Chain A
Amino acid sequence: MAKSIDVSDLNIYYGDFLAVEGVSMTIKAKSVTAFIGPSGCGKSTMLRSLNRMHEVIPGARVEGKVMVDGQSLYGPEVDPVAVRRSIGMVFQRPNPFPTLSIYDNVLAGSRLNSRKLSKSDADGIVERSLKGANLWNEVKDRLGKPGQGLSGGQQQRLCIARAIAVEPEVLLMDEPCSALDPISTSAIEDLIHELKERYTIVIVTHNMQQAARVSDETGFFNLKAAGQPGHLVEFNPTKKMFSNPDEPSTEAYISGRFG
């Protein structure tokens, strides 16, 4: 079920390099939270620290607290694999498993979680997830075909279907539309609107209009100077961010005067 996330005083390091410094925010359940900011300011790193995907890079570590509905994400007994099973992620470029069919791609996560799935359960999960990702009508007649045969936008929706097939508590999206054309982008944005009824969604985007269109709350990240760690400049409801931000640098970024 959808959960809220509390981040307090989070520092993220790659080895000795401090990438993101002192982030505190509250991400509400069943809402869309957008992270915006210039390249290299730590938005993606921040996003990845929410399901411990940054740990894929050797030497990456965090200080501070991330609590998901009161449960620490970084407690000593917490298994990062278990974290990722409940906090799903969609990437910048669509990445369906190249050798698996559409059907098996959707089921990949479920098969990892529980080995035994009856045929009818599996069919149910595939249909529900693909419908949830607005892809069912386009692919229902070719579920056995490889996922890579789909268009980029369809592949990305397949990846979303794969992520929601395991009923995650939170869905993280790292620039999910940056490799897509405007029509596919619009399909994904519509989908995000529907998904927030059931999931907590955090999305990183470079597209300001997209942040304004899809999100309820927005966090603006920036670097103090080149070589300095990224930090959270402002975190506010999206409406306020785009009309009357607290910080002058937020306004400068949003209105396109820098970044």
Chain B
Amino acid sequence: MTSPSTGTLSPPEAERNDKPLSRRGDRVFAGLARAAGITIMVALAAVFVFLFAEGRSGLSAAEATYRPASDFLRYIGPLVVSTILAACIALLVAVPFAVAIALFISHYAPRSIATPVAYVIDLLAAVPSVVFGLWGGRYLAQFLQPAHVWLSEHLGFLPFFGSPPSPNGRSLFTAGIVLAIMILPIVTAISREVFAQTPRLHEEAALALGATRWEMIRYAVFPYARSGMVSGVMLGLGRALGETMAVAMVLATSPAVTLNIIGTAAPATIASNIALNYKEATPSRQSLLIATGLVLFAVTFLINFVARWVVGRNERKQARA
């Protein structure tokens, strides 16, 4: 076969070839793309293998390793609860905010305001988590302390808002708020992109029926953007579950299991627990911490799969109906 890169039409003998004609550039690019795709899968598998190999002994070590708990499940349980609580607070706070900001940028603000707002939100993503941790622990915690008192007084009947409220504000609640600010940019950026891509035709369909702008957003923008928004929320959730430094610096930790998010102390999250303890840990303790990393890995995967499945099921149901 003659070189396809000459740019001329293929000679007749090429047509007898069973393989479809392909250009060198296409093949090279396809190869690169495939290699990139495979690399990421391999990297993920390698992380899993590492966590499993190094952490396996931490799953069933001597009882002393798990102090103050007595076995692995009792050790990891409070950490998982804290991790999920903090991530839930972050999502509950960040997602409505992010969606509102994204809508403001894509559908409400004039361009002269929307562009700088979008830019500032993106900048927020560039702030290192240590900085958020410093700010959260030293300033925001004190600032939010009165909110802790209020929540404890008015919503104290819920298990999440027990008393006494934290006197310095270094609670899961504050940690969750810091996480919310940290995941806000990614959720906003992705929502904004999918909102802006809503087909004009669908927007006009709603407007021509006499929809107000908000009704148009409900009829045309949200249905179109839903799966993209879920992707954005999942990315934010991943970051909230795995964030280390900010939580480690904000949260006052204690091993006691509690659902109380405004109390004086709460168990660390999995990631911040690793960061706080890894350096001074004995080898057996280190494998234990790696094993908790494995659990975090699994929890993140599980939540993502479940969320995708739920969304996918809704969409499939709609397609079948």
A interface residues (Cβ-Cβ under 8 A, vs B): 51, 53, 56, 58, 81-86, 88-89, 91, 93, 95-101, 108-109, 112-113, 144-146, 159, 162-163, 166
Chain B contact-residue range equals 20 to 34
Residue of B110, B207, B215, B318 near A146 (CB, 8 A) is B318
Q: Contact at A145–B210, with CB atoms within 8 Å? A: no
- Closest Cβ of chain B to A126, distance in Å, is 15
Instruction: Judge whether B319 is part of the interface by a CB distance below 8 angstroms.
Output: yes
Q: Contact at A82–B204, with CB atoms within 8 Å? A: no
Given A97-B219, A98-B223, A144-B321, A91–B210 Cβ distance below 8 Å? no
CA distance A86 to B209 in the complex (A): 9
Given A56-B204, A93-B201, A146-B318, A112–B209 Cβ distance below 8 Å? yes
Contact partners of A145 in chain B: CB under 8 A: 321
Residue of B206, B212, B318, B321 near A108 (CB, 8 A) is B206
* Interface pairs (24), CB distance under 8 Å: A53-B204, A56-B204, A81-B210, A83-B210, A84-B210, A84-B211, A85-B209, A86-B210, A88-B208, A89-B204, A89-B208, A91-B205, A91-B208, A95-B204, A96-B205, A97-B223, A101-B321, A108-B206, A109-B209, A112-B211, A112-B215, A145-B321, A146-B318, A159-B205
Instruction: Judge whether B177 is part of the interface by a CB distance below 8 angstroms.
Output: no
Contact partners of B220 in chain A: CB under 8 A: 97
Residue of B110, B211, B223 near A99 (CB, 8 A) is B223
CA distance A58 to B107 in the complex (A): 11
Q: Contact at B205–A113, with CB atoms within 8 Å? A: no
Known interface pairs A53-B207, A95-B204, A108-B219; 6 further A-B residue pairs with C-beta atoms within 8 A, sorted by A's residue number: A56-B204, A56-B207, A85-B210, A109-B210, A112-B215, A159-B205
Query: What 3 pairs across the A-B complex have the smallest Cβ distances?
Result: A85-B210, A99-B223, A89-B208
B216-235 CB mask vs A (1 if < 8 Å, else 0) is 00011001100000000000
Residue in B209, B211, B219 whose Cβ sees the most chain A Cβ within 10 Å: B209
Q: Which residue of B lies closest to A92 (CB)?
A: B201
Instruction: Judge whether B202 is part of the interface by a CB distance below 8 angstroms.
Output: yes
Given A97-B202, A97-B223, A101-B321, A113–B208 Cβ distance below 8 Å? no
Residue in A51, A93, A112 whose Cβ sees the most chain B Cβ within 10 Å: A112
Q: Contact at B207–A95, with CB atoms within 8 Å? A: no
Contact partners of A89 in chain B: CB under 8 A: 204, 208
Residue in B111, B204, B210, B319 whose Cβ sees the most chain A Cβ within 10 Å: B210
Residue of B209, B215, B219 near A163 (CB, 8 A) is B209
B interface residues (Cβ-Cβ under 8 A, vs A): 110-111, 199, 201-212, 215, 219-220, 223-224, 318-319, 321
- Closest Cβ of chain A to B319, distance in Å, is 7
CA distance A56 to B20 in the complex (A): 48
Q: Contact at B205–A84, with CB atoms within 8 Å? A: no
Given A98-B223, A146-B318, A146-B321, A108–B204 Cβ distance below 8 Å? no
CA distance A98 to B227 in the complex (A): 14
- Closest Cβ of chain A to B87, distance in Å, is 29
Q: Contact at B205–A146, with CB atoms within 8 Å? A: no
- Closest Cβ of chain A to B256, distance in Å, is 46
CA distance A145 to B317 in the complex (A): 11
CA distance A84 to B211 in the complex (A): 8
Q: Contact at B210–A112, with CB atoms within 8 Å? A: yes
Q: Contact at B212–A84, with CB atoms within 8 Å? A: no
- Closest Cβ of chain B to A82, distance in Å, is 7
Q: Contact at B208–A53, with CB atoms within 8 Å? A: yes
CA distance A51 to B205 in the complex (A): 13
CA distance A51 to B210 in the complex (A): 10
CA distance A98 to B209 in the complex (A): 16
- Closest Cβ of chain B to A193, distance in Å, is 23
CA distance A82 to B208 in the complex (A): 10
Q: Contact at B321–A98, with CB atoms within 8 Å? A: no
Q: Which residue of B lies closest to A142 (CB)?
A: B321
Residue of A56, A95, A112 near B202 (CB, 8 A) is A95
Q: Contact at B208–A51, with CB atoms within 8 Å? A: yes
Contact partners of A112 in chain B: CB under 8 A: 209-211, 215
Contact partners of B111 in chain A: CB under 8 A: 58
CA distance A235 to B224 in the complex (A): 41
CA distance A51 to B209 in the complex (A): 10
